[in-house]
Amino acid sequence: MRTRGEIEAAVSDGMTHFEMDHMGRGPKEIRAHLLGDLLVVRLGGVLTAAEQQLVRSQPAEKGRDLLKQVRTHLLETARPVMETMIQDVTGVPVISLHHDISTVTGEEIVIFTLAGPPEYREVKSK
């Protein structure tokens, strides 16, 4: 049985591979946090050069909204792949997925609601 940290690291690795395979590049930084039945994944530096140009070349709200629509559509299309990876790592089915991205910072947040908290072993203190 994995520790909570090992689960979080495996989710980070899986999400990095997902981003590279489905979005064309991986994040510059990533961190997963398991909080009971919630799994929060925070990715930094995910915007591609083309996405950054799109945001800069459009009026502020239009560029932002367009980028968010495209990213949401891409995630929803590949959602079964992502949910399978999360279930394989945690051993718990995904109930829902929530997503947002900042066009200012290039940070992306993906939150998974799981059917229950995953089982993990506690790390023994020395």
| pLDDT recorded at residue 60 | 75
pLDDT single digits (tens) 35-77 = 999 999 999 999 988 888 888 888 878 988 999 999 999 999 9
- Buried b or exposed e, range 85-110, using 16+ CB within 10 angstroms: bbbebbebebeebebebebeebbbeb
Q: Which two tokens stand for residue 108?
A: 């992306």
Establish if 39 belongs to a structural domain.
Answer: yes
| pLDDT recorded at residue 56 | 87
Establish if 123 belongs to a structural domain.
Answer: no
| pLDDT recorded at residue 117 | 98
Establish if 85 belongs to a structural domain.
Answer: yes
Q: How many domains does the chain have?
A: 1
Write the CATH number for 11.
Answer: 3.30.980
Using DSSP, state whether 71 is helix, strand or coil.
Answer: helix
Establish if 124 belongs to a structural domain.
Answer: no
Q: Which two tokens stand for residue 13?
A: 């690795």
Domain around 97: 4-114
**What is the C-alpha to C-alpha distance for residues 96 and 94, in angstroms, rounded to an integer?**
6
Mean pLDDT within 6-22: 96
Establish if 126 belongs to a structural domain.
Answer: no
